[in-house]
Structure formats: structure tokens, C-alpha cells
Amino acid sequence: MKRWRTDGWLRRAAAALALLTVAIAVGRPDGACAEPPLSVAASLSRTKLERVGDYVRNEIATGKIPGAVILVQQHGHPVYFESFGVRDVASQLPMTADSIFRLYSMSKPVTSVAAMMLVEDGKLRLDDPVSKYIPDFADVKVGVEKRGEPALALEPLNRPITIEDLLRHTSGLTYGFYGDSAVRKLYANSDLFDGDFDNARFVERIAKLPLAEQPGTRWDYGHSTDVLGRVVEVISGQSLFGFEKQRLLDPLGMTETASARDDRDRVLRGRCGAAAARRRADA
């Protein structure tokens, strides 16, 4: 993973502000695609906010990013809102307030909310063992590196992985794209992402790999939410996205949120352009 340089407050502020901009189009009505008026009573320095814009423009000019949208709000009111550059390098379409962004790892909070909805429904408990819904996890082992021994030792679980472990990333499941431990190398060199597969097949593959730690002993950012998503499917009898769309996304008006950016034309048109196309189709 590429790390941002943080040699000054402006770089840190710009990186943080960029993270705040990605969801600006979510939940707003179709007629609200224009940039909102800025608050005149803002106490933040307009001059210093403009320096953030200057930084982003330089990032674009030097080819580091194609474009960005920055929104800063104070007490619920926008005090800085600006679009920069282009949303698509090939077409050179300008970045606009309704641009649709790809957000890595945002399926994690959405899936976690879906799971908590099932808890609220009384269909799932936080202390349930994962193996109750996915039996393959009943026999999973923990990979332990021992000094002087080349082979990875496989030890039994001290306790089962629970739903709570999946939610808080203490399941022992990890990722294979960072770190150099023996378990992470197994993840990296496994067949996890080979061919076409659904959540059921993917989780079946994960269950064949050892855990990096005993459940509940360490926070480890990894595939926990992938497994949690499969639990949602097993309980609901729906696909993960189908459940999230019906129970969460559509009721919140998040009609342009999806688990994959598979409609390039929709992305290029932006949220409001896509909504307008749907209205024309329905007319």
C-alpha cells in the first residue's frame, strides 16, 4: 500500500479533507446536485481553506491525481466546497459535485450495519460462534511460527471465533497483501482470488487457511468482514448486496451505492446524470 508523505500540516490536512469528500452525493435528493451555498458565518479562515485547494490543484497539475471534490462543513453547514480536475482521464469529463467515487473498504461498515440489523431482528447474537452459520470454521487452526522450526505449527483454537470477533477484527483472519509473516505469505500465495467465485466459495477458501492469531487476542485488519457478509447471506437467504439494498441502501436513498463499479457509463455521468436518465426511461 502506498503511503502518503506527511511533511507538513498542509499535506496532513489535505489528505484528511479528501477523505471527507467521498460521500457528498449520498442521500441527497436528485434535485440537489448543485453545490450548496457556503455559510457566511463560518469561523474557519477562508484564506487557509483556499490553501487546501491550491494543494489539490498542484497534485492534479503534477499528475498525482486526476481530480477531487472537497467538502468542509462546520456545524452542519458547508464552508468550503469545490470540484477539481476530471472524473475520467480518457474522456476528460470534469469532476462535479455529483461525481461517483469508488471507496475501498467501505463495504466493511455497510456489512457491519447489516449484521447489526440481524442482531436487532433477533436472528443473530454477537456471541454466536461463526461455525454455527459456516461449519467450515469449526476446525480452523492458528498458525504459529516457532524459532528453529521451518514449518508453521498449527494449533487448535483456545475458543471459537464469534460474530463479535468478525465485527471488531479480532477473529485472527488477516490479509495477504501486507506483512511478511508465514501466515500472511500463505494468504498471499493461496487460491483465494482465483477464477469466478461467490461469497460462499470465497469464505470456504478462507476457512482452509490458518489464523494469524488466537481469536480475541489482537486487532488484525483482514477478511473478517468478508466472512461476516457470508453470515448475513446464510441467515437472510439473500445475496449480501440484495439484503443490503433491500434493508439499508434503498430505504436511505443510497440508490447509486453498489459493491462494484460495474457500470462505467453511470459513473461517468455522475449521480444526477444517472438519475435523469432513469427519469427519462420511466417517462
Catalytic residues: 105, 108, 221
| Eight-class DSSP state of 196 | S
Does residue 72 contact residue 49 with C-beta atoms inside 8 Å?
A: yes
Does residue 182 contact residue 147 with C-beta atoms inside 8 Å?
A: no
d(CA 96, CA 84): 8
